[in-house]
């Protein structure tokens, strides 16, 4: 098993939908090794979300290749990408992470149900994970009955319950206050250090950058700085 989980080579992405094409990424080379906790930093509009989406198989590059765990995503069909996201990726977005009519427990079970995990095992795994994440007493509540921080924790639970190769988090703290942000980041760090979950976040929150072991700065669709020093 290779040590490299993500390899982006010469990746470009230009959005053509508007009158003026927007170049979001121009020739990005980027490698992430297993067990890393990387934050993509940079000002708004620098291409962080675009890069994260390409790595997550949510979008396709115009040129260059994206490999995840040895699979070249460029070669996959839409439904293969969909299955890859279901089985290999864990996503945490800024908001709207959870199905509003399902409880935290049901949301976590839901993704396993998509995977075809048996009912008993689903219940077991969801309960114990929510307990580990300090949400045991909230398991029966729906997202609307949870605080912002609890919602993001439940989203993390939903993202990692499938044991994904990669956990991708796009501005996970954007709607949280600093105390709650810190709790979430502690959780991510614990997952990374104790369970070896590979994490890539996109953020312009300095606090998030501080928790990651490696910070990659983007500007105008290019990597301008890669601080791998803390990876060692």
Partner 1 sequence: MSEAVAELPAQASSWSGFRSAQIGWRNLWRNKRRTWLTSGGIAFAILLVMFSMAMQHGQYAAMMENATTLISGHVQVQATQYIDSERFEHTIDEASVLRRQLLALPDVVAIAPRVEAFALVSSDERSFAAQILGIDVAAEAATVRLLDMIDDGRVPAGPDEAVIGEKLARNLDVAVGGELVILGAQKHGGVAALVVNVVGIISSGMPDLDRSLLLMPIAAVQNAFGLGDEVHTLAIRIASLEDSAAVTKQLASRVPADITVRNWNEVLPGLEQAIEVDRLGGLIMYGLIIILVTFSVVNTFIMLVFERTREFGMLLAIGMRPFGIVGLVLWEAFFVWLVGAAIGAGIAIAIILGLADVGLYMGEAMEAMAAQYYMPPRLYPAFTTEVLLVSPLILLLGTQLAALIPALRIRRLRPVEALRSE
Ligand X SMILES: Nc1ncnc2c1ncn2[C@@H]1O[C@H](COP(=O)(O)OP(=O)(O)O)[C@@H](O)[C@H]1O
Residues binding partner 1 (CB under 8 A): 53, 56, 58-59, 69-72, 75-76, 79-80, 82-87, 89, 91, 93, 96-97, 99-102, 110-111, 113-116, 158
Interaction between residue 172 and ligand X (CB under 6 A): no
- Kindly tell me which residue out of 1, 3, 19, 44 binds ligand X, with binding defined by CB under 6 A: 44
* Residue 79 touches which member of partner 1, Mg ion, ligand X, none, C-beta under 5-8 Å by kind: partner 1
* Residue 215 touches which member of Mg ion, partner 1, ligand X, none, C-beta under 5-8 Å by kind: none
Site for Mg ion in 31-90 (CB under 5 A): 49
Q: How far is CA 17 from CA 58, 61, 136, 164, 191, in A?
A: 17, 15, 45, 32, 38
Interaction between residue 22 and ligand X (CB under 6 A): yes
**15 vs 193, which CB is nearer to partner 1?**
15
* Residue 110 touches which member of Mg ion, ligand X, partner 1, none, C-beta under 5-8 Å by kind: partner 1
| Matching residue, tokens 């049901």 | 106
Nearest 5°: CA angle at 203, between 131 and 19? 130
Nearest 5°: CA angle at 64, between 63 and 70? 140
Query: Minimum Å distance from CB 210 to partner 1?
Result: 26
Residues 199, 188: Cα–Cα separation, whole Å: 8
Query: Minimum Å distance from CB 181 to ligand X?
Result: 18
Residues 123, 65: Cα–Cα separation, whole Å: 38
Please list the helix, strand and coil fractions of the chain in percent, rounded to the nearest 5, in that order.
40, 25, 30
Interaction between residue 45 and ligand X (CB under 6 A): yes
* Residue 82 touches which member of ligand X, Mg ion, partner 1, none, C-beta under 5-8 Å by kind: partner 1
Burial class (CB in 10 A: 0-12, 13-18, 19+), 120: exposed
Q: Which spans of this chain sit near ligand X (rule: CB under 6 A)?
A: 15, 17-18, 22, 24, 42, 44-50, 202
């Amino acid at each position: 098993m290779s040590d490299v989980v993500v390899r982006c080579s010469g990746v470009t992405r230009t959005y053509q939908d508007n009158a003026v094409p927007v170049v979001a990424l121009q020739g990005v080379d980027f490698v992430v090794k297993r067990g890393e906790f990387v934050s993509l930093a940079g000002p708004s509009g620098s291409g962080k979300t675009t890069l994260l989406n390409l790595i997550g198989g949510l979008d396709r590059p115009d040129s260059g290749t994206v490999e995840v765990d040895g699979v070249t995503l460029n070669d996959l069909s839409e439904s293969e990408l969909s299955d890859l996201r279901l089985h290999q990726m864990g996503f945490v977005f800024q908001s709207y992470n959870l199905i509003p009519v399902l409880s935290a427990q049901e949301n976590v079970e839901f993704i396993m149900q998509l995977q075809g995990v048996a009912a008993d095992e689903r219940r077991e795994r969801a309960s114990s994970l929510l307990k580990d994440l300090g949400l045991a007493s909230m398991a029966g509540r729906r997202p609307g009955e949870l605080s912002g921080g609890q919602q993001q924790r439940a989203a993390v639970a939903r993202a990692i319950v499938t044991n994904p190769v990669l956990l991708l988090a796009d501005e996970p703290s954007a709607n949280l206050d600093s105390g709650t942000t810190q709790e979430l980041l502690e959780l991510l760090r614990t997952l990374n250090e104790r369970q070896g979950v590979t994490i890539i976040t996109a953020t312009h929150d300095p606090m998030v950058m501080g928790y990651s072991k490696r910070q990659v700065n983007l500007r105008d669709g290019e990597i301008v700085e890669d601080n791998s020093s803390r990876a060692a």
